[in-house]
Amino acid sequence: MFFERIYERGLAQASFLVGCQATGEAIVIDPKRDIDDYLTLARREGLRIRKVTETHIHADFLSGSRELAAATGAELLLSDEGGREWQYEFPHTSLRHGDHFMVGNLKFEVLHTPGHTPEHVCFLLTDTPAGSDPVMIFTGDFVFVGDVGRPDLLEKAAGIAGTMEDGAQLLWRSLALFRDLPDHLQVWPGHGAGSACGKALGAVPGSTVGYEKLVNWAFQAKDEASFVATILDGQPEPPTYFATMKRLNKVERPLFEKKTLAILEPEELEAFMRKGAVLADLRSKQAFLGGHIPGALFLPWSNAFTTWAGWVIPYDRPIILSCDARLADDAVIALSRIGLDQVAALAPDVDTWEQSGRRLALVDSVDASDLARHAEHTGAMILDVRGTAEFAEARIAGSKRVHFGNLRKHMDELPKDRPLAVHCKAGNRSLLACSILQSEGYDEVINVSGGIDAWVKHGGAVEPGGDEPARDRVSR
């Protein structure tokens, strides 16, 4: 048997290529949208990808199952569990609980494990030449290393009211099925640390059933009520793009196509932006602070790039990239992984922009150690753009919290007649927030260098957060 885990760090997403070396047949489970890794790996190992499958309708990335099936002629096997409203709306081979299929001499058994989503399934793998007992389970977003899949996304991300508690109760019942599995089974989940599909995912790539029953918090819950309360408490905000992924992974959609991007002249970029294009600046923090094209969003090239882009870039507007041309291909692929396919061109570099007689925009900064003095002197509002859990743990007294990805929904709560001093944990998300505010016409925005970490390091006082109203004061 051949087995390899393919991991995409930007979305903390795992997929798997499993092959029968005796027959040369292979399957890919939960593929990402850019499929070259699977094609290259299969060629290297002398395997033919004959089947492609998914554990569920994903919310955090756009599945590459259809791209892979189109490229290889592989059979597409997908869950038909969960009820009518949770069915894939394009041709596929149906999978139900208890079904099994073969990939060469490898047997895959389907287990329906609802909770994270109603249609979710796992795959038990038996290497039949080696024995009659299963050796692996591919758990998707059901059981992670140290955590379980969150059941609140359908309500929080897709807007389907009243599904959180029902999903949590279903998940509790599905865990009973997992408890009955043999302890030796290898567990291969669909995500690792950093994914928004759980709140405490471990960084170890795989586990075993026995290990998870010993250490995973979900298996320590004493009863259903305590499990439901715990699983629903403290989940991070789901990125805004999750709702779009749920829809696009379910319906017919265009397949990914590679594109070559032209570099715009300054006047061409201005024309695009007048029509509502989003200018994404992928350069470093230092480069952005040194001057950027007005209206650009700070989206630095990092592991967080794709998720941050999904938070702040609408799906109905063209995207222009401000980055080195050598990075453009990778950026287009990264955006395609969440269906942001509308990249239209590359922006001129900032030197070309400035040499054409056009101005560069700047974001002012204040050191965290000077924040209290600055706020008192200028009357600035302290704007915290971190997540709910971070804010609940510690906040600067008097600060107002709006998650950076939700700023555009809360503009009416933010004053334009006084400065906004924006902070996050360390200063990156806050700079993105400043760029959003600038693009929306806020002239007096200040990025707090080093964020709340630097504030605390320099002796600044913090207090427990929560959703209480800001008291418009700063203490040290």
* pLDDT at residue 467 is higher than 70: no
Question: Start-end ranges of CATH 3.60.15.10 in the chain?
Answer: 2-248
Give the contacts of 285 (CB within 8 A, at least 6 positions apart).
298, 300, 427, 428, 431
Dihedral over alpha carbons 289, 291, 297, 301 (to 10 degrees): -60
Is the pLDDT score of 473 beyond 80? Answer: no
Reported as a pLDDT band with limits 50, 70 and 90, residue 466 is: low
At position 194, the amino acid (one-letter code) is G
pLDDT digits (tens, 9 = 90+) for 233-243: 988 889 999 99
Other CB atoms within 10 A of residue 9 CB: 12
Res. 116: pLDDT tops 80: yes
Q: What is the pLDDT of residues 247-289, one digit of tens each?
A: 999 999 999 998 899 999 999 999 999 999 999 999 999 999 9
CA separation for the pair 25, 43 (Å, rounded): 11
| Residue 400 host element (H or E) | strand 400-401
Cβ 151 vs Cβ 167: under 8 Å: yes
Give CATH 3.40.250.10 domain extents, the chain.
266-355, 364-457
**Residue 193 has what pLDDT?**
87
Task: Give Cβ neighbours of residue 208 (< 8 Å, ≥ 6 apart).
Answer: 183, 184, 185, 186, 187
List Cα–Cα distances, 300 to 86, 225, 281, 366, in angstroms.
Answer: 36, 42, 7, 20
pLDDT per position as a tens digit, 49-104: 999 999 999 999 999 999 999 999 999 999 999 998 899 999 999 999 999 999 99
CA angle 372, 373, 376 (to 5 degrees): 85
Residue 87 is predicted with a pLDDT of 93
pLDDT at residue 154, rounded to an integer? 84
pLDDT tens by residue, 331-368: 999 999 999 999 999 999 999 999 999 999 999 999 99
Per-residue pLDDT tens for 282-329? Answer: 999 999 999 999 999 999 999 999 999 999 999 999 999 999 999 999
472 secondary structure, DSSP code: S
Distances (CA, A) of 387 to 19, 340, 392, 401, 410: 41, 24, 9, 8, 15
Q: What is the pLDDT of residue 312?
A: 97
pLDDT at position 362: 97
CB 281, CB 246: distance < 8 Å: no
Whether 108 contacts 27, CB under 8 Å: yes
> How many Cβ atoms are within 10 Å of 396's Cβ, its own excluded?
28
| Per-position DSSP letters for 251-318, written without gaps between them | S--PPP----PPBPPHHHHHHHHHTT-EEEE-S-HHHHHT-B-TT-EE--SSTTHHHHHHHH--TTS-
Task: From residue 51, give the alpha-carbon distance in Å to each of 18, 98, 108.
Answer: 10, 18, 11
pLDDT value for 201: 84
Give residue 238's Cα distance to chain centre: 8
The dihedral region occupied by 452, where left means phi > 0, alpha psi between -120 and 50, and beta the remainder, is alpha
φ, ψ of residue 206 in degrees (nearest 5): -140, 175
Given a contact cutoff of 8 angstroms between Cβ atoms, the answer to whether 339 and 309 are in contact is: no
pTM given for the model:
0.94
pLDDT at 476 > cutoff 50: no
Q: What is the pLDDT of residue 469?
A: 40
3-state class (DSSP) for residue 250: coil
Q: Tell me the per-residue pLDDT of 399-449, one tens digit each, with 9 for 90 and over.
A: 999 999 999 999 999 999 999 999 999 999 999 999 999 999 999 999 999
**Token pair listed for 444:** 């007096």
Written out in words, the top-level CATH class of the domain with range 364-457 is alpha beta
In one-letter notation, the amino acid at residue 156 is: K
- What Rg value do the Cα atoms of the chain yield, rounded? 24
Q: Does the annotation count 424 as an active-site position?
A: yes
pLDDT in tens, 133-181: 999 999 999 999 999 999 998 888 877 888 899 999 999 999 999 999 9
Structure tokens at 325: 């041309």
Calpha distance 404→391 (Å, rounded): 13
Of the residues 20, 122, 323, 424, only one is catalytic, namely 424
pLDDT tens readout for residues 359-392: 999 999 999 999 999 999 999 999 999 999 899 9
Task: Give residue-wise pLDDT tens across range 178-221.
Answer: 999 999 999 999 999 888 777 778 889 999 999 999 999 999 99
**pLDDT score for 474:** 38
Top-level class of domain 266-355? alpha beta
Architecture of the CATH domain 2-248: 4-Layer Sandwich (3.60)
